[in-house]
Chain A
Amino acid sequence: MATLKALRDRRKSVQSTQKITLAMKMVAGAKLRRAQERVEAGRPYAHRMRQILSALASDAQALETPQPLLIGRGGTNIHLILVATSDRGLCGPFNSSIIRQVRKMITSLQEQGQTVKLFCVGRKGKEMLAREYGSLIIESFTDVGFPRLRFTEAQRIADSMLKMFEDGLFDVCTIIYSHFRSAMIQEVTTTQVIPVKIDVDQQEKESLPLQAVYECEPVEEEILNQLLPQNIAVQVYNALLENAASEQGARMTAMDSASRNAGDMIRNLTLTYNRTRQAHITRELIEIISGAEALS
């Protein structure tokens, strides 16, 4: 049986751990709220952009010079996977579930005989993939969006992706990130960004000005030239925002259950501690009484 002192120390250490996890939970909760607001704030832009893009894209096939960002380059041999993870740990299964999805995708693509390259955003993803797929990582960004994600950062990432695309380093690009459903639920999501997949849902389609013949200034092609790269940046930005919210959500949930576990542990330790103390006292009493009896 452990000594009283050992038990006391043990309980103290669990208590301070609980304090930390509780504090982390609170911080994550506050950050989550802010991250959520930013996700909401980012939606209108992305939504409008998709509308404009789909209005333009519908007759983009007829353009003289095809837009590789829109319809691809024909080949789909080299896949680039943009892996969006967090920089910090202690957020439950957040990073590992993203990485699991990435692994699955790499394996299935490689089985089809395609080349896979990785672009890591976030320190954790890079660390976790480096062991197995270190040679596939062609670019990585860390400390993005700290303390707060700005659009310019997403643009920087998008720019470096676009440059690689122009240099012919890949044909298809997919982002894997965690979509924020609620603090409890985060969904790992796979979105193809290059070439752009435009899926306008029925409702959006109807709200579109039907066959609106837009006057374009300058020509349609020029606009697409600007719109498509911007769209990539917006997609990256959105993915990173969703990821940030998911990360905080996952951390909050993880820290909540950690605090609860610590609470259980403290209760058990206190119980054992009290029992041991009682046993000590009883033993000492017995010793005194039996000593006294022996004398009389």
Chain B
Amino acid sequence: MSVFPFILISPEKILFDQEVSMVVIPGLDGDIGVLPQHAPLLTLLRPGVVTVYEESKILVRVFVDGGFAEVTPERCVALVTEGTPLETLDKAALEIEIKNLLEDVADSRTPEERKQADQNLGIAQAKLMEVLTIQKLR
């Protein structure tokens, strides 16, 4: 099976850089599966899970909180703000975080604060959703 390099980078470090056979990235309007020789594509990413496949096994699942991805026939590069391996996310901790963020949203006074809080909440909720989905799958 043919492979291509997939690179996942955050501003602070390289999160993943390896030859893979397929990745599924969370595009803005739905997940995008990328195989070798994919047509050139530039897309925004929504907060969600990047799934990396080697052969037909899942190598890693990484939660990313949005960013960009550049796909060319030779490679796929995802630029994200932050990435966390899915298995390190904890359901209970996320539920507490969401509760706190809900309060933040309620407490925000300026529109900017509101926007920021909403954004954080959206990311946390997406995290929780993915964690729940994974649990169901098992």
Contacts and interface: CB of A to CB of B under 8 A. Distances in A.
Contacts of A214: 40-42, 70
Interface stretch (B6-14, B89-97, B126-134): B6-14
Contact of A52 (B29, B68, B81, B82): B68
B40 A213 contact: yes
B28 interface: yes
Contacts of B72: 209, 212
Contact of B42 (A46, A154, A217): A217
A225 to B, nearest CB: 9
A60 interface: no
Interface in A141-157: 150-151, 154-155
A53 B79 CA distance: 12
A237 interface: yes
> Of B12, B39, B70, which is in contact with the most chain A CB atoms at under 10 Å from its CB?
B12
Question: Counting chain B CB atoms within 10 Å of each CB, which of A41, A56, A213, A222 scores highest?
Answer: A41
Given A48-B70, A49-B79, A223-B68, A216 B43 contact: yes
A51 B82 CA distance: 20
Given A45-B79, A234-B11, A56 B42 contact: yes
Contact of B14 (A41, A51, A213, A217): A41
A219 to B, nearest CB: 10
A215 B42 contact: yes
Contacts of B70: 48, 51-52, 214
Contact of A42 (B11, B27, B112): B11
A55 B68 CA distance: 14
Contacts of A44: 7, 9, 14
A43 B82 CA distance: 15
Interface string B1-40: 0000001011111100000000000011100000000011
Nearest to B75: A209
Interface in A188-215: 209, 212-215
Given A48-B9, A48-B77, A234-B11, A218 B44 contact: yes
B44 A45 contact: no
B10 A217 contact: no
B115 to A, nearest CB: 10
Nearest to A212: B40
Contacts of A49: 79
Interface residues of A, number: 34
Interface in A215-251: 215-218, 220, 222-223, 226-227, 230, 233-234, 237
Interface residues of B, number: 26
A163 interface: yes
Contacts of B68: 52, 223, 226-227, 230
Contacts of A73: none
A31 interface: no
Nearest to A216: B42
B42 A151 contact: no
Most buried by A among B14, B40, B42: B42
A46 B77 CA distance: 12
A151 B79 contact: no
A38 interface: yes
Interface of B: 7, 9-14, 27-29, 39-44, 67-68, 70, 72, 74, 77, 79, 81-82, 112
Closest 10 CB pairs of A and B: A214-B42, A217-B43, A41-B13, A151-B11, A215-B41, A45-B9, A212-B40, A45-B11, A214-B40, A216-B42
Given A44-B7, A212-B72, 10 more contacts: A38-B12, A44-B9, A48-B7, A48-B9, A55-B42, A151-B81, A214-B41, A214-B70, A218-B29, A223-B42
